[in-house]
Amino acid sequence: MQLCSLVTLLILFNLNALYMENNIFQKSIYFILLVVFFISCGTQKQSQTSEVGMSFEPTEPYDKVIPEGSESKKGLFTVHKVNEDYYFEIPDSLLNREILVVTRFIKTPGGAGNYGGEEIGEKTIFFEKGPSNKIFLRVATFVSQANEEDAIAKAVNNSNVTPILEAFDVKARNEENAASVIKVTDFINSENNLLALSASQKETYNLTSLEKDKSYISTINSYPINTEVKTVKTYNASIAHNNKKSLPAAALSGVVTLELNNSFILLPKEPMKKRFYDPRVGYFASSYLLYGDNQQKVDKNIYIHRWRLEPKAEDIEKWRRGELVEPKKQIVYYIDPATPKKWRPYLIQGINDWQKAFEQAGFKNAIVGKEWPEANDSMSLEDARFSVLRYFASPSKNAYGPNIVDPRSGEILESHMGWYHNLMNLLHNWYLIQAGAVDERARKMTFDEELMGELIRFVSSHEVGHTLGLRHNMGASYATPVERLRDNEWLNKNGHTSSIMDYARFNYVAQPEDSVSVENLMPRIGDYDKWAIQWGYSQFPDSLSSEKEKEQLSTMVVDSISKNPRLWFGGEGRDFDPRSQTEDLGDNAMVASFYGIQNLQRVVPNLMEWTKDESGKSYKDLGEIYNDVVKQYSNYLFHVAKNIGGIYVTPKSNNEEGDVYRPVSKAKQKEALLFIDKYVFNEPTWLLNDEILNKIEEPNTKNSTTEMMESLMMTLLGGSRMSRISFIADRYNFNDPYTPEEYLNDVSSYIWSDLDMFYSPNDYERKLQKTYVSDMIALYKPDEAQGPLAGLMAKLSEEKTANTDIRALALNNLINLERRIKNLLPSVSDRISRAHLQYLLKEIEAVVGDTNSMERSYRPITN
């Protein structure tokens, strides 16, 4: 502007001189130049004015805001501490770069059910230059995308404005580093959705407002790709009402204090190449809507979660020749130093077991478990650069394996696995019950260290599989024929399930006479796991387009599974496919459950001895193990029941032959019902061991066996199963379907087979028959169902059976039963049997009325 003004003055001076000389030509030239300069200067001034609104003009000099001697830490953001205030120095090069913010607990109040290291939430943010000397913090959303070269990209941009979470004043500029200084103290200490608990999380524990005078920043450390913020936050808290959870700290003091960690992680400037999701391979995935000018339908872009494994530059040629190479960056998991030392080697081995799976994808030493270097003070367990297995002092019986991903590409950046101390109790009980009949080591309440270590190793491997991107494969165990589970030689080669990502647990099918080795009772990484890692992590040339890569991966799926059915991914077990179930084994639930029950019948008589210890404790352990035996028995029965109304679901691409949906055959459904008749409709007397029950069971109207029966009956006669049986019979084109009429007739004939002149049901049979009537009433008239289970069943039935024939069939069965009871009652002399029938009759009549009078009212008039 100064130059422009000076030149303008010179032109005006010379123009005045020209006018004095009266030279018309020169006057015209100078006049045109003057106009051009005025326009130019005006434009420059306008441009500078607009830039002033978007430029950084610090209110103070840098050395005044950040005086010499301030505590400073360089990293992603250079962090300055001046007295009690914190400042971030944000380079211009980081503006508009995506940054992932992950919030975790460091310490939690007692009774919260959350533990240090567990994730609270994650969001992607970016900083941008704003008007009025501001820097905006925006929360990025990944909902819709388009190719920037397409015209529709403008429409996508117009409909995806990201929210501004905070606006910071630029306090100073470091021109040497082209960076802006913003004060972050108040923002970090505030109650915001980025760095603190969400509204729903606070509501869970009845936390109200943040106590700012009792909340503060503990430390902030900065590293090359991340900045870590540790805070202490104190909330006002109220005593819980309406069945909400009340924390002890709230009851004692009215406040709750938490320690949190916020990780600001710079996402890669160039996102990893996506690998498109295929439902035939079990990976976690992210998605967004994809728009393009050439589309006639919006696409959903779904891509899997996986680590960025790439060969080192010097190994590219080896990799191309098919040689195993080490990845450029190894996947490293550290073991929390809070972990008991004797279990650390087993946890590490569970991590290292995945090395052989990555070898199938072309990488050696791709993953490794390590002890946490406790002597290194520069490392923090919450630091986002490190993946850690966190150990929780908790009564919960659990473990989990999450992962943090770049939402733009699905790249896994880090993982904090959670391991609960009391998981060992769950593993002990599982193994004693499922393997105690064949493994002598399982027949006591405290396992030897080696055995417990083996159990810990298997769970470690399972959870690590999740952190690598793998979902559960509940159909993996179906790939093993039941009889092979008793063949030690076959098990040596294949294991008892094709995937450690299944909930197959332990080989409960193996019988004592089979001499199956203890190694073949345990899950291990199998065919499917290695193949899934190969599918997800194998490298393709960079020149190969995403669509071509997708085609090659699809071909790989078809070719591989057709040659080896053990590579089939059976999903999470959430549909109606009896092949995909939790806790099951083998390809035939009836046969596998038969063997499982045989082993339970060997275990139960020994529970008194196996749960005994020298300290003379109470029978608490006996009661716990016995109840777990009933749960295991229940698992076997529900595995069988899923075949009734079952539908096989096999995802396929449109160039594969065969149907995606196929019903379970009538013969197998009837086989399943016959099994249930034997083991449920007939009292399991072997389970009702008085020697045990007299020591563990408090006086009650129901024992755990009765509750199991009621629960199973609720599903057998529930609206969901009945409507599915009806749908299968109507929808699928085969000659002899298992119709709902035939199914209900079969159930009725099994339960009421003794409704004759010799009728004298025992206590268990009376409970079974009461349950049947209650469930049939719920099926017919959901709003008149009685009891907690019947009420739940009624709710399910009401949604599924409206405007179907199911309710009419339920009424018909109740009417038929009513007639049979009326006909039998005069001949029943036993008081309890008679009272039982009278009770059932009144229950039915209360709903359907007097069927005799009903029929008389509709009887045709005859002469």
Nearest to 585 by CA among 678, 484, 512: 484
Out of 31-35, 177-181, 784-788, the most confident range is 177-181
92 pLDDT band (50/70/90 cuts)?
Answer: very high
Question: Would the pLDDT of 281 be above 90?
Answer: yes
Question: Would the pLDDT of 54 be above 90?
Answer: no
258, 105 Cβ separation under 8 angstroms:
yes
Lowest mean pLDDT among 28-32, 337-341, 620-624: 28-32
The H or E element spanning position 555 is helix 546-563
Q: What is the mean pLDDT of residues 637-650?
A: 96
**Angle of CA points 83, 84, 85, to nearest 5°:** 95
Question: Would the pLDDT of 863 be above 60?
Answer: no
The pLDDT score that the predictor gives to residue 287 is: 86
Lowest mean pLDDT among 246-260, 288-302, 483-497, 671-685: 288-302
**Angle of CA points 50, 55, 61, to nearest 5°:** 140
Question: Would the pLDDT of 433 be above 60?
Answer: yes
354 by DSSP, 3-state: which?
Answer: coil
The pLDDT score that the predictor gives to residue 148 is: 67
| C-alpha to C-alpha distance for 152 and 793, rounded to whole angstroms | 50
Cβ count within 10 A of residue 574 = 10
- What are 357-397's pLDDT values in tens digits? 999 999 999 999 999 999 898 888 888 889 999 999 989 99
The pLDDT score that the predictor gives to residue 152 is: 62
Cβ count within 10 A of residue 647 = 18
734 pLDDT band (50/70/90 cuts)?
Answer: low
DSSP at 825: G
Question: Would the pLDDT of 7 be above 70?
Answer: no
The pLDDT score that the predictor gives to residue 35 is: 46
Question: Would the pLDDT of 28 be above 80?
Answer: no
Determine the CATH number of domain 313-553: 3.40.390.10
Nearest to 135 by CA among 165, 164, 170, 179: 170
- What are 646-672's pLDDT values in tens digits? 999 999 988 888 899 999 999 999 999
The pLDDT score that the predictor gives to residue 291 is: 64
538 pLDDT band (50/70/90 cuts)?
Answer: very high
Q: What is the mean pLDDT of residues 47-53?
A: 37
Percent of the chain surpassing pLDDT 90: 68
Question: Would the pLDDT of 19 be above 50?
Answer: no
Question: Would the pLDDT of 456 be above 50?
Answer: yes
Give the type of residue at 395. Answer: P
- What are 128-156's pLDDT values in tens digits? 999 989 999 999 887 666 666 767 666 65
The DSSP line for 401-434 is ---EE-TTT-EEEE-EEEEETTHHHHHHHHHHHH
DSSP at 575: S
The DSSP line for 355-391 is HHHHHTTTBSS-EEEEE--TT-TT--TT-TT-EEEEE
687 by DSSP, 3-state: which?
Answer: coil
The DSSP line for 100-129 is EEEEEEEE--TTSS--TT-EEEEEEEEEEE
Nearest to 709 by CA among 779, 641, 776: 641
Sheet of strand 404-405: strand arrangement:
306-307, 411-414, 404-405
Burial label, 358 (beta-carbon count in 10 A; 0-12, 13-18, 19+):
buried
The pLDDT score that the predictor gives to residue 650 is: 93
Question: Would the pLDDT of 354 be above 70?
Answer: yes
- What are 492-517's pLDDT values in tens digits? 999 999 999 999 999 999 999 999 99
Percent of the chain surpassing pLDDT 70: 85
Which residues, 6 or more positions from 674, have their beta carbon under 8 angstroms from its beta carbon?
Answer: none
570, 528 Cβ separation under 8 angstroms:
no
Cβ count within 10 A of residue 351 = 26
Strands 416-420 and 387-392, how do they pair? parallel
More confident residue, 298 or 412: 412
Question: Would the pLDDT of 72 be above 90?
Answer: yes
804 pLDDT band (50/70/90 cuts)?
Answer: confident
Residues belonging to the chain: 863
Question: Would the pLDDT of 16 be above 50?
Answer: no
Q: What is the mean pLDDT of residues 728-734?
A: 78
The pLDDT score that the predictor gives to residue 783 is: 76
Q: What is the mean pLDDT of residues 746-753?
A: 96
712 by DSSP, 3-state: which?
Answer: helix
The pLDDT score that the predictor gives to residue 56 is: 65
855 pLDDT band (50/70/90 cuts)?
Answer: low
710 pLDDT band (50/70/90 cuts)?
Answer: very high
109 pLDDT band (50/70/90 cuts)?
Answer: confident
Name the average pLDDT for the chain: 87
Question: Would the pLDDT of 587 be above 90?
Answer: yes
